[in-house]
Amino acid sequence: MTNGKIKNLLTKKIVILDGATGTELQKKGMPAGACPESWCLENPQVIKDIHVSYQQAGAQIVYTCTFGANRFKLQQYGVKDNVHQVNRKLAQLAKQACGKKTLVAGDIGPTGLFIEPFGKLPFEEAVDAFKEQVRGLIDGGCDLIVIETMIDIQETRAALLAVKEIKDIFTIVSMTYEEDAHTLSGTDPVSALITLQSLGADAVGCNCSTGPEKMVDLIAAMKPYATVPLTAKPNAGVPRLENGKTVFDMEAKAFAAFGRKLAAAGANMLGGCCGTTPEHIKKLAQITAGIKPKPPLIKSISALSSARRFLLLDKNKPLFIVGERINPTGKKALQQELMEGKTSLIRQMALEQEKQGASLLDINIGQPGIDEVKTIKTVVGLLSTVSRLPLVIDSSRIETIEAALRLYPGRMLINSISGETQKMVRLLPLAAKYGAMFILLPLTKGEIPQTAKKREMVIKNIFAKAKTFGLTKDNFVVDCLVMAVASDFKAAKETLATLKWCEEIFNSKTILGLSNVSFGMPGRPWLNAAFLAMAQYLGLTMAIANPASTEIMNIKMAGEVLTSKDRAAQSFIEYFSAPAAGSNPAAAKALTLEEKITGAIVEGNRENITNLIKTALSSGSSALEIVNKVMIPAIVSVGSLYEKKIYFLPQLMAAAETMKSGIDYLDPYLKKVSAANKGKIILATVEGDIHDIGKNIVALLLKNYGYNVIDLGKDVSSHAIIEIAKKENPDVIGLSALMTTTMVNMKEVITLARATGVKTDFLIGGAVVTDAYAQSIGAYYAKDGVEAVKVVDKLIKK
């Protein structure tokens, strides 16, 4: 059966896949903890019977029992047999069982390891391991391959590349999604689909994890973007525990009823995973017989993806900004960092650009003196984990581009492929192999076509060559070539004419490297912004720019309203309505100085407090008055808001820090008037306990209320606490502990205190401490910092 014949079958009917193998093997006597592959080789008739039972139930494709037949999994079971042999023999058993009527899919499951950049297993080692398995499956006669139950997009890519690098064989790729419609590694089904179908998967889908109901939603989510058939192989419901046994209790009839819904959502191949039986498959085959499958709705797609996000390059979507900052040209600090093999600046630039509104990140690490291939692998690995944005690989070196494409767990954009023959013949096959999109750069023989007409010719030529590799207009965006108006006053007009032609005649997506237009001119931000507005009007898809530029981002937002891409101007209104953090001009204007100080503390406005206090002092208020009549009441009201849960901890802390800034400023004035301390408090987290955040909160609040706090830190021995208590003679000793095991040390401190004649009151607190425990050891208790202040107040007044 050729790939073409399988594809033909998919146009005619819903293709039925088999059901669970593992649970069937257990029913037939496979002991717990046994390696299924080894056990099947020792009991060949059992697995053959299972294959036949699914064939008889109506499955047109059965899976080999090789889900865990990779070197890593087999090693875990201590299986020393040759991986190739295990796979070949099990494939042969399936072929023998099914004859010619039913297709056999060589089944590949996860290794159980995480692959770089998400784990330590080198990507190429994973590819090699899968190749070992694939060779065995193909030699055993498999008609197609299925990669299934994958949770990690990178491991899935490794397996798919392994298959495609060995043979052009029909390959189904299926991932497993949690209740939140993401894999455990955080990939959503559409991002996975975009990555995998562009990398050469012949069918994409989902299996395991959920029951069929949730899978209807997953298939429906993928269908509009799928260029390949979709598969669904749900469990027989969600597993539950019954008397210590795992039970899948969706009956065959109920399970099969979802076959119609799955087909209606767009699934082309249906089967069952954990808990399903031949009966489930039989009913599924019956209920879907005669249903005409929905073919893929599109033939190609202009979309990019990362491991955790996809980007659809639709003409109706707002303009995408490609963040341009990760480029060492003119950036000495970045150059230095790259030379030293460090990546902290790159990480920072990526996160900043994402925050500033970039939709993609351009990555250029080209500079003399570094190993570009090694560096790009490090950078792509880093950015794949820290940023959700799809990446644009920007390099003049083909090796660098290939290394990035191979490792990146998404669909990348290559920047760029020009009309230079050498580059076209090497880069276009790479774009095709890895399913990457590319920026079509209309340069040829090192020359820049000056006019739009000449650029059109080059664009058509590159496209013609791209078509020979199976690439379509959805696979690229055209760079309309931005040249400096300083050297050619017609340059911008030619670029815009090229853009207009691409949008209206050639019908392709477009991109501009904006800032080139203003090179050598003053007022560059304004030239860039004006140019962007004109290009936006003509339908520009994306712009390479610095998202930190206010002019660019403001014009982009405005342009989207004026070109009807921001419906009802929602994004524009949100963007321009956001008040500056902390500003509240309406509230500020009518307030007295005292109210402003109160407001600053209550709102936790640390920036203003010192200036307000300065003003209050210069207008005649005394330091003591400011503290007692304004600041203390303010912090008391914050405590009250916290107790009522109207404030939560960060608000309480911000208010306390604001208060502390004010008190620190007033400290010299207070000393002058001999402002008495309210009392002396020793605080410590007891021995054996290293948790001190709660104790630190209490210390800050007590200081704000005028107490002299001696903070001994954490993991402090009983003897150390008592020694200092004898020396300092505090009014109260506060002890903190987070754990039941360290809480007992509080008693030890108090016992030691009493035994050595220290009569000071103890206040205790911490996550596991209770009022009852406090009473039992002769201490007072406070549930949080605010209450601690009240208790201390009472103890000092008594």
Partner 1 sequence: MESSVYLEKIAIAPPTAKIYQRLGFKKKTTQLSASKQKETDGYIEEAVSLILLQGSFLRLSIDNNDGKSITFSGGLKFASAKLSAFLRDCMEAALLGATAGNAIMKAIVEKTSQGNLTAAVVYDATASEMTDAALDWIMDYLNQLIRREGKTLLPRRFSAGYADFDLKNQKAIYQKLQMEKIGVTITDKFILLPEKSVTAVCGICG
- Rounded to an integer, what distance in angstroms lies between the CA atom of residue 696 and that of residue 366? 48
Closer residue to partner 1 in complex, CB, 17/427 = 17
Nearest to 387 by CA among 363, 341, 338, 354: 354
Nearest to 21 by CA among 43, 45, 51: 51
Closer residue to partner 1 in complex, CB, 109/559 = 109
Closer residue to partner 1 in complex, CB, 31/620 = 31
Do 792 and 732 touch, CB atoms closer than 8 A? yes
**Residue 146 CB, nearest approach to partner 1 (Å):** 14
Phi and psi angles of residue 418, each rounded to the nearest 5 degrees, phi first: -100, 180
Do 217 and 181 touch, CB atoms closer than 8 A? yes
**Residue 577 CB, nearest approach to partner 1 (Å):** 11
Helices (H), 418-487: 421-434, 452-467
- Rounded to an integer, what distance in angstroms lies between the CA atom of residue 171 and that of residue 156? 12
**Residue 391 CB, nearest approach to partner 1 (Å):** 16
Closer residue to partner 1 in complex, CB, 385/570 = 385
Token pair belonging to 571: 């994004």
Closer residue to partner 1 in complex, CB, 339/744 = 744
Closer residue to partner 1 in complex, CB, 642/762 = 642
The torsion region of residue 782 among left (phi > 0), alpha (psi -120 to 50) and beta comes to beta
**Residue 69 CB, nearest approach to partner 1 (Å):** 13
DSSP H or E run through 693: helix 693-704
Outline where DSSP puts E strands in 450-566: 476-479, 509-513, 542-545
**Residue 246 CB, nearest approach to partner 1 (Å):** 4
Do 720 and 688 touch, CB atoms closer than 8 A? no
Q: Which residues of 446-480 are buried (b: 16+ CB within 10 A; e: fewer)?
A: eeebeebebbbebbeebbebbeebebebbbbbbbb
- Rounded to an integer, what distance in angstroms lies between the CA atom of residue 196 and that of residue 120? 22
**Residue 664 CB, nearest approach to partner 1 (Å):** 9
Closer residue to partner 1 in complex, CB, 241/676 = 241
Give the DSSP letter string of 306-374: -SS-EEE--TTSPPEEEE-----TT-HHHHHHHHTT--HHHHHHHHHHHHHT-SEEEE----TTS-HHH
Nearest to 193 by CA among 214, 221, 217, 164: 221
**Residue 453 CB, nearest approach to partner 1 (Å):** 49
- Rounded to an integer, what distance in angstroms lies between the CA atom of residue 246 and that of residue 331? 59
Nearest to 133 by CA among 122, 121, 145: 145
Closer residue to partner 1 in complex, CB, 139/643 = 643
Closer residue to partner 1 in complex, CB, 533/641 = 641
Closer residue to partner 1 in complex, CB, 18/689 = 689
- Residue 56, CB-side half-sphere exposure with 13 Å CA sphere: 10
